[in-house]
Structure formats: structure tokens, C-alpha cells
Amino acid sequence: MVRRPSPNENATRYEIREKAISACKMTMELAEALAEETLRLAQGMGLNTVSAVVDEGGTLKAFRRPDRSKLGCVEFAILKARCAVNFNTATHTHYPASSHQPETVAALAAMEGFTIEGGGMPVRLNAELIGGIGVSGARNWREDVQVIAEAFELFGLDRVDESPVVSMP
């Protein structure tokens, strides 16, 4: 069971969100807080995940790798975050959207900085793309996405509902 935040924690998250709104960009404070929150939520689910947050240009703003997390998750979390911001879509939507087009799948697979693995989400604030987040290391991509969605809810960020929740390879 995930611990629910106290009113003081919610007030702090709201203040961080308001600063990002006034700046209309991924602030360092918001990036750091999102990275921390996703780790806290993942640990509450018994997961040891890695979290990467990038700004609207794909530049890494915050990164967290807990002790004993898998090394392969480091680059994967960053890739998911950058892919989500570059395409302004959740990464789990890429495969279902193109799976019926073998040529497209082959081209996308060869593209540097692209992934079909879920766990990358664009970060939007009042419908404005301000960055991306990637989480890697859960038992499956749906848990990566769940951690991100819960963090977005806690910070009052736009919900990303791009649901082709079709089975992924």
C-alpha cells in the first residue's frame, strides 16, 4: 500500500507546480521533485526503479538511480524520457500505432533515440509540453507507467491518457 502524502507535502508539491507554471518550463525544482517522487512511489510498490527527467529539449535535468538498481535501466530511463519529449507521446503508444506497418517498425527500430517500450511519458502543464520522464526497472512497463501517472496526479500535472494498452513485445 502506497503511503498517502500529508497536507504539508501536497502544499509543497503545489508550490513547485506553480513555479513551473510561471516559468512555463521544466524547472530544476520540479524535475528533482518528480524524480524523487517516482522513486518514493516505486519503493512503496516494492520496486527498485531508475528515474530520468528531461526538459522540453531533451536535456537531462534530474536523474535518480537507487543502490542495487539494474545498470541497464540507467540508459533506458533516459532514452524513454527523451523519446517521450521528442515525439510528445507516451512511449507505450508507439508499437500499437505502427505494428501493422512492418516498414515503419523497421525504420523506427533503426532510429537513434527511439523506443517502443513503455515507461516514458511527456510532461505537460496546462496542455504545454515542458519535458519528459522515463522510469525503468519495474517488473513490466505498465508498472513504470503507473508510477509516473501517480506522480503526475500528486503534482497536478496533466494526465497523459494515450491508451493503446495493447500487449507489447
The CATH number covering residue 51 comes to 3.30.450.150
Q: If you write DSSP's letter for every residue of 36-72 in order, what string do you get?
A: HHHHHHHHHTT---EEEEEETTS-EEEEE--TT--TH
Number of domains in the chain: 1
Q: Is residue 16 part of a domain?
A: yes
Outline where the chain has alpha helix (H): 7-23, 28-44, 72-87, 94-98, 102-110, 141-155
Q: Is residue 168 part of a domain?
A: no
Residue 90 clears pLDDT 50, i.e. is over it: yes
pLDDT confidence of 167, banded at 50, 70, 90? very low
Q: Is residue 162 part of a domain?
A: no
Whole-number Å distance between alpha carbons of 136 and 100: 26
- Give the pLDDT of residue 166: 38
Q: 15-57: per-residue pLDDT in tens?
A: 777 776 666 789 999 999 999 999 999 999 999 999 999 999 9
Tell me which of 1 and 123 has the higher pLDDT.
123
Contact 148, 39 (CB under 8 A): no
Write the DSSP symbol of residue 131: E
Nearest in space to 57 (alpha carbons), one of 74, 21, 81 = 81
Whole-number Å distance between alpha carbons of 24 and 3: 30
pLDDT confidence of 165, banded at 50, 70, 90? very low
Q: 129-143: per-residue pLDDT in tens?
A: 999 999 999 999 999
If one counts every other C-beta atom within 10 angstroms of the C-beta of residue 24, the result is: 12
Contact 157, 31 (CB under 8 A): no
Q: 147-159: per-residue pLDDT in tens?
A: 999 999 999 999 8
Residues spanned by the domain of 110: 7-155
In this prediction the pTM is 0.81
Q: What is the overall mean pLDDT for the chain?
A: 85
Residue 79 clears pLDDT 50, i.e. is over it: yes
Q: Is residue 166 part of a domain?
A: no
Q: Is residue 93 part of a domain?
A: yes
